Amino acid sequence: MTEFGRALRSRFLLDPEITFLNHGSFGTIPREVFAVADGVRQRFEANPDRFIREILPGALREAAARMAEFVHAAPADVTFVDNATAGANTVLRALDFQPNDEILTTTHAYGAVINAIRYVAGRSGAKVVEAPVPLPALSADAIFEPIAAGFSPRTKLLVIDHITSATAMIFPVERLVKHARERGVRVMIDGAHVPGHLPLDVPKIGADWYFGNCHKWLFSPRGCAFFWASPEAQTLIHPLSISHGYGKGFIEEFDWTGTRDPAPFLSVPAGIDFHRSLGEAKVRDHNRALALAAGQRMAQRWGEPMNAAPELLGAMVGVRLPERWQRYGAPVRDTARKLTVAIAQAHRINLNIMPFEGALWCRVSAQVYNEMSDYDAVVAFAETDPPPA
Ligand SMILES: Cc1ncc(COP(=O)(O)O)c(C=O)c1O
């Protein structure tokens, strides 16, 4: 039986001197997946022409087929992009918005994605509507209702996270997609955190476009996101970089977007194998139970709220920082970044401080190499002052 926690640490490249509680931001991969990616790069360098012309097209399709199977999709509907940011831009920048069209999203959408939405809206005269989802969110209804209230006859596109970034909550995506569909509204789902984090049946959700990072929770090298489009919605988009496959259909267009390092994509099957070797459900259960227990300890000792009801949480949890830590600085992105780095330097703990609606929140992640004692020093923030600004 695989033991999780510290016993698994040596299978990762993590510096033993740090306490890594921020898997959610950029992920990290086990040594065996690192070796697979290294092997891909060595085979590539041995004969670049042969690799690109003879090996890559088939190898990429094989990797996409493994990913498709992992998310219950048809291989013909799955391709790869560099990251979730690219996935979001792919859809947003391909669609044709008119003045007064509305793009509906939420106050919890990822900052970079909000920027992309604002960019396409600004260019076309469309309007951005940000539904105010509360924090903490105490039920799925508390998430669903403000978003449902944000629809109007002019809504053209709904952009929702499956798991939000700063606020780490799981959105009721199937219910939201159904609501949008009934109003003839197309849906793009940002599943940046989802592969390897939640069980995922992408076609069942019923959106038009869905993408998710493999480099976060699926143990794949950076940058690597899978990108799914329903067969009908495939016809509405093109890759960010239009290349030789233009006009030849979804797979041909997306599988070649110019010369790049394919090692992350070709290592996805190894990431899936690693995840499965530990037991997919066991990984999810371990991570969720640990995140929840850590969050509850932090919230209790700090006397502060946790981000969401337990049923809305996965392997990440957010807790509002104690009052003495709020005084570190104004609750804006720059302060949060500085405090995140200051904590890493002073305590050798990597976590993520993020601003949300007038307060600083602390997000910790739980991965298979973590165990309860990893969170002790964070719980003790209740009795300590933040590092000097
Ligand atoms: C919800 C969400 N969307 C998009 C992203 C961007 O991911 P990437 O930097 O891999 O593009 C993140 C990253 O944390 C995220 O949490």
- Beta-carbon contacts of residue 122 (< 8 Å; ≥ 6 apart): none
The protein residue with its alpha carbon nearest to ligand 1, atom 16, reads 165
Nearest atom of ligand 1 to the alpha carbon of 222: 10
**DSSP H helices in 280-332:** 280-302, 323-326
| Mutation test residue for ligand 1: of 213, 214, 220, 333, the one with most atoms within 8 Å of CB | 213
Ligand 1 cavity residues, CB under 6 Å: 25, 83-85, 110, 112-113, 161, 165, 190, 192-193, 213
Give span(s): CATH 3.90.1150.10, the chain: 6-28+279-383
Task: Give the predicted TM-score (pTM) of the model.
Answer: 0.97
Name the helix (H) or strand (E) containing 372.
none
| Pick from 115, 24, 71, 62: nearest CA to 210 | 71
CB atoms within 10 A of CB 148: 16
Distance 206 CA to ligand 1 centre (A): 21
Reading the block at residue 286, the tokens are 């371990």
Distance 222 CA to ligand 1 centre (A): 12
Q: What are the residue ranges in the chain where pLDDT is below 70? A: 1-2
Beta bridge partners of 364: 317
- Beta-carbon contacts of residue 333 (< 8 Å; ≥ 6 apart): 111, 354, 355
Alpha-carbon separation of residue 303 from 239, 319, 323, 351 (angstroms): 47, 10, 9, 19
Distance from C-alpha of 364 to C-alpha of 25, rounded to nearest angstrom: 10
Reading the block at residue 297, the tokens are 């300890």
| CATH classification number, 6-28+279-383, choose in 3.30.2320.50, 3.40.50.2000, 3.30.470.10, 3.90.1150.10 | 3.90.1150.10
| CATH classification number, 33-273, choose in 1.10.1660.10, 3.20.20.240, 3.40.640.10, 3.40.50.720 | 3.40.640.10
Distance 84 CA to ligand 1 centre (A): 5
Beta bridge partners of 130: 105
Distance 282 CA to ligand 1 centre (A): 25
Amino acid at 54: E
Give span(s): CATH 3.40.640.10, the chain: 33-273
pLDDT tens figures, 212-224 = 999 999 999 999 9
Distance 213 CA to ligand 1 centre (A): 8
Please give the pLDDT value at position 1.
57
Nearest atom of ligand 1 to the alpha carbon of 215: 10
The protein residue with its alpha carbon nearest to ligand 1, atom 12, reads 192
Name the helix (H) or strand (E) containing 345.
helix 333-347
Distance 43 CA to ligand 1 centre (A): 30
| Pick from 231, 233, 86, 226: nearest CA to 157 | 233
| Mutation test residue for ligand 1: of 163, 169, 190, the one with most atoms within 8 Å of CB | 190
**DSSP H helices in 172-279:** 173-182, 202-205, 214-217, 231-234, 250-255, 263-266, 268-278
Nearest atom of ligand 1 to the alpha carbon of 225: 10
